[in-house]
Amino acid sequence: MAAEWWRGSVTYQVYPRSFQDSDGDGIGDLPGITARLDHLARLGVEAVWLSPFFRSPMADMGYDVSDYTDVDPLFGSLADFDALLTRAHGLGLKVIIDQVLSHSSDQHPFFAESRASRENPKAEWYVWADPKPDGSPPNNWLSVFGGSAWEWEPRRRQYYLHNFLPSQPDFNFHNPEVQDWALSVLRFWLDRGVDGFRLDTVNYYFHDEKLRPNGPLAAKDNRPPVNPYEMQDHEFSKSRPENLGWLARMRALLDEYEARAMVGEVGDAPHRNLDIMAAYTRPGRLHMAYSFDMLGPEFTAKHFRDKVEGFFKAAPDGWPMWAFSNHDVIRHVTRWADHGAAEAVAKQAAAMLLSFEGSICLYQGEELGQTETALEFEELTDPPGIRFWPDYKGRDGCRTPMVWDGSAAGGFTTGKPWLPVKAPQAARHVAGQEGVAGSVLEFYREMLAFRRATPALRAGRTRFFDLPEPVLGFARGEGLACAFNLSPRPVVIRAEGRVEGPVHAAHLGGGKLTLGANGFAFLVPEAGKLSLRP
């Protein structure tokens, strides 16, 4: 099992800019993370995922890399990374690092060479295309961050592809030299001792070489969305079949090393997403697929059941990684605020997520019940937030600094934080919840300990009970039933068994399980019986 440590594991995502600043410049760094690793060990997670800390102009906060094998001075040095890795391993924590291989920064030396002419050693390392006869881009592909996915380069008299910012040109993975180089980057970090990779935009590596135009998605209503990217079916600009062979090459590299793992960020249209995750997690490809399916506003029993059942039906040999929050979406306590009080929703979300079959990813601050930060336009740093304001406010609201105590800037920095720590967030800090019975932090610790001590929660298969909304109920293995009331109104169902483990607003008696507002309970067999019924 040591080789498959990732199966059923819990990973904690650290956003380095916002976790802990060690030098007073207002930006988090690697020494700061190292100083706070004890918090993660005490929490009870098994791995830490570090968002990008590589050299970068920071146009997209590190997801535009200019040197893949060095640390940006904002965050420290390679020696600081080595110290972090040593400390994490000493605490029994695995370390997963982001790899942003689908595109680079336009400041990367490879792109500087590629854009200079059509005849140079890096000329075909990025995606270039001739204009149409009228001078317009070669097709209708759109950027995730708005506008055309094509940018004109006068020196080559061609357009280059960028699925994100114009300063994030896409590598041409149809070129074997690019694949070989990308493998060398992975090997650099594997040799340094990392335990695995989170692969950013894993389904964006390849594009359709014929540059066929994307078709439309069925309109949801008569008004276009805030971002027209959501109007296209991105059949040809991503998720291409050639990706499968490349995933196999990466997997073969990781298999040369002991107990390493990679999880891919998979995001596509709902009608295609499950099939892609299934294909990507077949044997010999990704170890895990990081799902977007639970990062939206939906909060119903049917939604969660459909996503879990749907994955394992499509990918019986695959393995998912579930998350409720990350650095790209509104924090889930805020997203689901209409479904209960903040602390109750925070605890229920923890209990539910940590009882799902698969591996789990927690985002920094959610163990405090942290909420989204409301920012003014002049406080924004995120490019899509600035572009689509005010209907879309961007991703800065979930990226504000971790709050450690009640001091200025929440103990994150002695300087001015790069994003503000506002009063609603400052009220939820580690020191104020540490050792406090009933706090969200202590509940996370309790729930994580329960998951570690309960084999069914790590490896048991899932069987759902047919229960009416708003109750979600399922069995893990043969010996554990999980029941959740996804509403602020009490509900009663019939139940056989006895309550064991973390519980909230729940009472079992007389064959009935009463679940109060956002109540939940775990049941084990009593006299050989275990069931949940309407």
Catalytic residue (one of 119, 134, 221, 256): 256
Q: Is 484 helix (H, G, I), strand (E, B) or coil?
A: strand
Residue-wise burial string across 261-286, b where 16 or more C-beta atoms lie within 10 A, e elsewhere? bbbbbbbbeeeebbebbbbbbeeebb
CA dist., res. 224 & res. 200, Å (int): 28
**200 annotated active-site:** yes
Q: Is 456 helix (H, G, I), strand (E, B) or coil?
A: helix
18 to 21, 23, 41: CA distances (angstroms):
8, 13, 19
Catalytic residue (one of 200, 357, 367, 496): 200
215: number of Cβ within 10 Å: 11
CA dihedral 378, 381, 387, 391 (to 10 degrees): -70
H/E stretch holding 493: strand 491-496
Single-letter code of the amino acid located at 420 = P
Residue-wise burial string across 145-184, b where 16 or more C-beta atoms lie within 10 A, e elsewhere? bbebbbbebeebebbbbbbbbbbbbbbbbbbeebbeebbe
Give the Cα-Cα-Cα angle 343, 349, 352 (nearest 5 degrees): 140
Cα radius of gyration (the chain): 23
**256 annotated active-site:** yes
CA dist., res. 268 & res. 252, Å (int): 25
Q: Is 233 helix (H, G, I), strand (E, B) or coil?
A: strand
Q: Is 269 helix (H, G, I), strand (E, B) or coil?
A: coil
β-strands 504-509, 512-524: how paired? antiparallel
Active site residues: 200, 256
